[in-house]
Every structure is written in structure tokens, then in C-alpha cells.
Amino acid sequence: MTEKNRIIDALGERKLLLPALVNAALAANDQTKYLFTLLQMAQSHADRPDVVISDLQPERLVSGLQDEDLDRVVEGSRRGGNGEYRIPHAERIVGLVMGNIKTMLEPLDNAAGTGQSEEARQFAHRYLELLHGGGPLHAESISGEAIAKLTASDRERGDSPHLLVMDLHKALIRLQAAIAVESIDGARVYEIKPADRSLVKAFMRGVNQTAPLKFDHPGLGTTATRAGDKLVIQNDIGTTDAHVLVVHVIGQTVALTYTDVHLQRLLFFERLFERYKVQWEDTLSRKDKTMESGVYHLSIGRYAANGKTELEEYLSFLGSRLVFLIDWNRARKRLRNFVPKREALQLLKWAADQNYGHLAFLKLGGEQVIYDALEFVVKGPHRFGERLNDMLGRREAAQYLRYVLRACSEGLRDGRPEPLIRDEVKVELLNYFRSAQQSLIDIAADHAALIVELASGIHDALLKARLPDAAQYLARNAQRAKDWESQADTLVNRARAAVKLSESGGFFRNLVEAADDVADDLEDAAFQLTLLPPDAWRGAICQPVQSLSDLMVQGAQEFIKALETTRYLHRGGLREDVQDFLEAIHRIIGVERHTDEAQRNARRALIEGSFSEKELYVYSGAVRSLEQSADALMHAGLMLRDYVLGEVMLK
């Protein structure tokens, strides 16, 4: 107690001591948590001296303890006999813990008239029980059992100093809010210096900028005070016990301590500061069975500002990010119903960076908003386990979910009716499914373009078949044909995956599957031609085989023309578009008829010529594959004609 505080106490105005006592108690809380961790880390190092471990110096400095000897405690710890541990300064560490608990009791003892005196008596009773019930300490020797009793957080196993510290801290936070003497833009403050006011204002400017994004969700309560040479700002973020932010401002340096039960949210919080050069210490995990999953995580970040303006800008940005942590894990789980884990995290990061957030999405029903939109669009219930990125594609699914997060946030902030926002979400998804019609045509057209490449490759290779290095041309073309055919298979799989993208999804899947028979036959023909001997390309066989390849190039080009024309066909559309489409289909049918004649000419040439058995086998196989490709192409063309005349033109 300072001399000024002693005088106040002597004058009988003990309530005036409360702010200073609360500050000291909160500082003692920080130190005690550090000391608990120090003992646990020392024990862990003694058990596993081969494992590299932190000396906890950053944590000591943040807690306010100036004793550098404590930085050597972990490294100097060793196991003794009979469950004992040789931990430097062990007796002193335990003494500091119990002394700090006594310091935490003082403001509660002095809070007469605040309604907390009975609670203070209960705390004092627990303290005395723990003080007299502790095991004996001998200099640097302490048992593993004693460490466990000091740091235990399982209430079912009885009381412990750790549990008492946790309960005292909660009571102190309530008392701190009750004795705050003024409010600065919503922050309850006391005992700050005039120079601190602009810093508190900067922090609250950020908090208040994004606080509307939490809507009616509790949280973001802020208190600020001065403890020695540092301004201390605390924000409760949400309602989770271990979800707390404490900010220490010392000169131009900001040290923030952030605790969270969800490690992924903690890492997400760190990524929000990419625009600032924040130095993050290694994340520490603390066991606490009163928390979710029995553990919580702690991160410390330091930022050194260049001047007051930059300091205030950073504090404002820090305050503005806190709303994006509230119910973050619930939003992440909801989004993972539609996209993989990584994409869900990217969506939440994007929503925070754009100041949209995710709480509006949750307030409107979360995943149910999207399920309702899917049922509206696909005319049926959404199948469990089927993700949106499988239906729309990864990029499109991300774009749509970004729209949902933005529409929910902007809609609720603007006071728009919730049913209207849900309808807008449905219409946007409908637009994606309608545009998917064009995407399906794109897939079919890309597949048709590969058929053109396959046919043209055979045609060009055959033109060089009589050259001295013909075998190289044919082999090179066969390899390209294999690659093209593989790409065609990929497009088939895309068409199958996109079957629910539109009402015509099933047709385009069947069309691409049918056209893939053309690609398979052409790739087989390209391979067959590589089996011929170097001097086999001669005589009357050349012309009919070349004619077959010419016809396939023509047919493939007409097929892609018909597909592209399909984009513009609809009831009441231009007559010229319909005419172009029908003429392309007619030419495909003509190609098939001409390939029948070319195939007969090839057979005649093979029978009348003098070829070896090998040559006859290869030529026959190549001719058959080319002719089959023409048949498959005509089949695909007729499928497209029936779809256009039977469905597109009737709508």
C-alpha cells in the first residue's frame, strides 16, 4: 500500500482505496498464472530434459515480475527421489502464489456496501484452508503431488489455489466494472492518466466501429485502468470463460494477451493482423477441465509503433477485430456443411477483412438459410454430405457463400425484413444454377474441341505418312492423342459432377458421355497407325484412309458449331440461329454417310492389294476405329438435335 493509500486508510475512507487495490489484485492474478505455468513447465522439463522448452521469460515480463532469476527455473529443474522435484526457488514460488492470492482478496475485503462482503468471506475461508493444508516445502524440493494440488483445475477433486485464483479473477472483474468512475466511449475506466484517454478512445473507436455486427449478441465489454507504467485495457469478447483479451500499453509498445478454448480461432485471430508487424510468441496450451475440451490456449503478441498516430491506429484496428471472434467456431462448423475446412476458414477471414462478419449469417439461421435456398432451386431436399463446391465448383461455391455472408450482414444492418434477405439468397443461388447451364455447354464445347484436335492430329499425321520420318510423326501424334483423350475424360467427370447444376444437367452429362466414344475411337485410331512398318503407307489404301480422316475433321467442326449455336437458341429466338444449328446437324449426318463409303473403299483396297497379315490387321483396325468415331459423332449430334427441338425450343 502506498503512502497516499495509507493516509486515506487512516482517514477512514477505505472505499477510495478500491481502484488501487483492484489494480494490484489484477496484477497479482497475472503473476500467479505465470507462476503456475512456471511450476508445470519446470516439472515437464525435469521429466523430459531432452525436449526443448521455453524459459517463459516473455510471460514473466508481461506479468510484471522483474526477477530475472525465475528465467532459469525451468532449465535448472531436475527429478529427485520418491516423487520429489528439485526446482530452483520452489519455496519462494509457492510463497509468491499464496501472497498474490492474499493480494487478490484485499479489494473484496474492502468492498463493503457493494454486496460482495459475503462472497469475500467465503474466499477468505478457502484461502485459509488452502494455506494450512499445503504440504511442507524444503528450499528447492517440492513433490509432484504438491504441484498437482497447486495447479489443479478439476473441481470434482476438491479446491486448489488455481481454482481460487480463477474465481477471484471473475469477482474482481465484476468489482472493477462496478467501481469504474467514468465511461469513455463505452469503456469503463478509472485511475488513468490524461495521456491515456486518447489511447482508450482509439481502442473503443475500433470496437464501436464493428460492434453493430454482433447485433443482439452479448460481449465486447471493455474496462481500462493504469497499473504502474502501463495502461491496461481488457475486453471480455464473448461469454466464454477463457475467451479474454488483455492489452498492455507501455510507451509506444502494445502487448496483447489473448486466451481461447479454440486453437483454430486463436490462429485465425493472429492472421487478422497481417497488415501489422506483430511479433507473436509461441502459442501455449493450458490444461483446465472447467473449460471446453479441458484445455485453453494463450497467445502473446507485441507491436512496436512508430509514434502516437500509428499507436492509435493499431489500437483502433485491434478493437475492431474482436467482434469477428464471437461465435466464430459455430460459424466455422456451419460453413463446413458446404465447403471443406480450408475454404470455410478463408470465408471467415474474408468476411472479417471486409467488415461483414458471420453473426448476421448465424442470426438468420446459419446453414438453414442455404438449405432452404437449395431446396428452392433443386426442387427437393438437400442430400446430406453433398457439399456446395461439388455442385457449383470450388470457385463458384466460395463466391456464392461470400454473397450470403455479405447479404445477411448488410441486410440486417440496413433493417431489411429477414424473409426478404432469405429470398435474395435463394434468387442468387438460382442465378448460379442458371449460369450453370452455360457452364455445362462450356464443358461440352471444350470436349468437342478436343475431338477436333484428335481428328486434326490424325489428318495431319497421315499427310506426312510417306515421308522418311513418318514413324516419328505418327508416334508424336499418338502421344498427343493420348493426352487429349485423358483431358476429355476429365471433362466427362466434370459433367457428371455437375449433373444437378441445372434442369438440363442430366442431358449434358449423357451428351458428353456419348461424345467421349468419339474421342476414344479417334485415340485408338491414332495408336493403331503407329503399329505400321515404316514403308507400309503405299498404294490404293492411302486415299480412302485419308478421306476418313478428312471427314472426321469436318464432322467434329460441325459438332462444335452446333454446340456453340445452342447457347443462343430459345423459343421465339432468331430464325438464323435455328437454321445454322440444323444445317450443322445435317452435315454431321452427311459425314457419317460418306464415311461408310470411304470405309468400303478402304476394304476393297486391302483385299485387292498385297499386304502382310500385320498390315492388314493394323489397317483394318484403324479404319474400323475411324468409322466407329463417325457413327458415335452422328449419335451425339442427333441427341443434341432432339434436345433442342424437344425441350429448348418448346420453353
Mean pLDDT by 10 residues, the chain (651 residues): 36 49 86 90 90 81 84 90 88 91 87 63 88 64 87 83 90 81 86 91 96 88 83 78 78 88 88 91 56 64 93 96 94 92 94 96 92 79 62 83 96 93 89 68 90 93 81 90 93 76 68 93 91 71 86 93 81 74 91 89 82 82 91 93 78 54
Q: Do both 196 and 318 map to the same domain?
A: yes
The residue to which cell 434436345 is assigned: 643
Rounded distance between C-alpha atoms, residue 593 and residue 587, angstroms: 10
The residue to which cell 427441338 is assigned: 645
Q: Do both 153 and 266 map to the same domain?
A: no
Looking at residue 531, its amino acid is L
Rounded distance between C-alpha atoms, residue 275 and residue 277, angstroms: 7
Model pTM greater than 0.95?
Answer: no
* CA dist list (Å): 490 to 446, 493, 496, 635: 11, 5, 10, 21
What is the pLDDT, as a whole number, of residue 2? 40
Instruction: State which residues form the domain around 314.
Output: 180-324
What is the pLDDT, as a whole number, of residue 10? 32
Q: Do both 158 and 188 map to the same domain?
A: no
What is the pLDDT, as a whole number, of residue 538? 63
CB count within 10 Å of CB 112 equals 11
Calculated CA dihedral for residues 211, 315, 27, 120, nearest 10 degrees: -20
- Check: CB of residue 425 under 8 Å from CB of residue 373: yes
What is the pLDDT, as a whole number, of residue 529? 87
Give residue 214's Cα distance to chain centre: 21
Q: Do both 100 and 151 map to the same domain?
A: yes
Residue 586 sits at the vertex; the CA angle it makes with 585 and 589, to the nearest 5 degrees, is: 90
Closest C-alpha among 495, 500, 499 to residue 375: 500
What is the pLDDT, as a whole number, of residue 11? 30
One DSSP character per residue, 476-512 reads HHHHHHHHHHHHHHHHHHHHHHTTTSSTTHHHHHHHH
Intra-chain end-to-end CA distance of the chain, in Å: 87
Strand, helix or coil for residue 280: strand
Residue 426 lies in a domain: no
The residue to which cell 489500437 is assigned: 315
- Split into its structural domains, the chain has a count of 4
Q: Roughly what angle, to the nearest 10 degrees, separates helices 613-646 and 505-529?
A: 160
Name every residue whose Cβ is closer than 8 Å to that of residue 84 and which is 6 or more positions away in sequence: 141, 142, 143, 144
Residue 16 in grid coordinates: 477510495
Rounded distance between C-alpha atoms, residue 201 and residue 97, angstroms: 35
Residue 220 in grid coordinates: 465486447
Q: Give the sign of the dihedral formed by CA 439, CA 445, CA 447, CA 453.
A: negative
Q: Do both 249 and 153 map to the same domain?
A: no
Beta strands in 113-243 (DSSP E): 141-143, 182-184, 187-190, 222-227, 230-235
The residue to which cell 490462429 is assigned: 267
Q: Roughly what angle, to the nearest 10 degrees, separates helices 418-463 and 542-566?
A: 160
Q: Roughly what angle, to the nearest 10 degrees, separates helices 542-566 and 505-529?
A: 160
Provide the pairing of β-strand 187-190 with 222-227.
Answer: parallel
What is the pLDDT, as a whole number, of residue 7? 28
Residue 263 lies in a domain: yes
Rounded distance between C-alpha atoms, residue 28 and residue 57, angstroms: 17
Residue 306 lies in a domain: yes
Rounded distance between C-alpha atoms, residue 643 and residue 56, angstroms: 72
φ, ψ dihedrals at 253, nearest 5°: -105, 135
| Helices vs strands, H then E, count in the chain | 22, 12
- Check: CB of residue 54 under 8 Å from CB of residue 41: yes
Q: Do both 20 and 134 map to the same domain?
A: yes
Give residue 217's Cα distance to chain centre: 23
Rounded distance between C-alpha atoms, residue 407 and residue 651, angstroms: 32
Domain boundary among 307, 324, 341: 324
Rounded distance between C-alpha atoms, residue 319 and residue 203, angstroms: 5
Rounded distance between C-alpha atoms, residue 71 and residue 264, angstroms: 29
Residue 261 lies in a domain: yes
Q: Do both 470 and 582 map to the same domain?
A: yes
Domain boundary among 265, 293, 324: 324
Q: Do both 310 and 441 map to the same domain?
A: no
Q: For residue 497, what is the domain's CATH number? A: 1.20.58.220
Rounded distance between C-alpha atoms, residue 452 and residue 492, angstroms: 16
Closest C-alpha among 473, 467, 602 to residue 611: 602
φ, ψ dihedrals at 86, nearest 5°: -95, 95
Rounded distance between C-alpha atoms, residue 459 and residue 553, angstroms: 8
Whats the size of the chain, residue-wise? 651
Residue 510 in grid coordinates: 449423357
- Check: CB of residue 286 under 8 Å from CB of residue 237: no
Q: Do both 282 and 367 map to the same domain?
A: no
**Residue-wise burial string across 242-260, b where 16 or more C-beta atoms lie within 10 A, e elsewhere:** bbbbbbbbeeeebbbbbbb
Strand, helix or coil for residue 20: helix
Residue 425 lies in a domain: no
Q: Do both 456 and 479 map to the same domain?
A: yes
Element (H, E) at 249: strand 244-250
Rounded distance between C-alpha atoms, residue 465 and residue 536, angstroms: 9
Residue 427 lies in a domain: no
Q: Do both 335 and 302 map to the same domain?
A: no
- Look at phi and psi of residue 626 and say left if phi exceeds 0, alpha if psi is from -120 to 50, else beta: alpha
Name every residue whose Cβ is closer than 8 Å to that of residue 61 and which is 6 or more positions away in sequence: none
Element (H, E) at 369: helix 367-378
Domain boundary among 291, 307, 324: 324
Residue 150 lies in a domain: yes
Q: Do both 184 and 172 map to the same domain?
A: no
In eight-state DSSP terms, residue 138 is B
Residue 424 lies in a domain: no
- Check: CB of residue 549 under 8 Å from CB of residue 604: no
Closest C-alpha among 596, 598, 564 to residue 581: 564
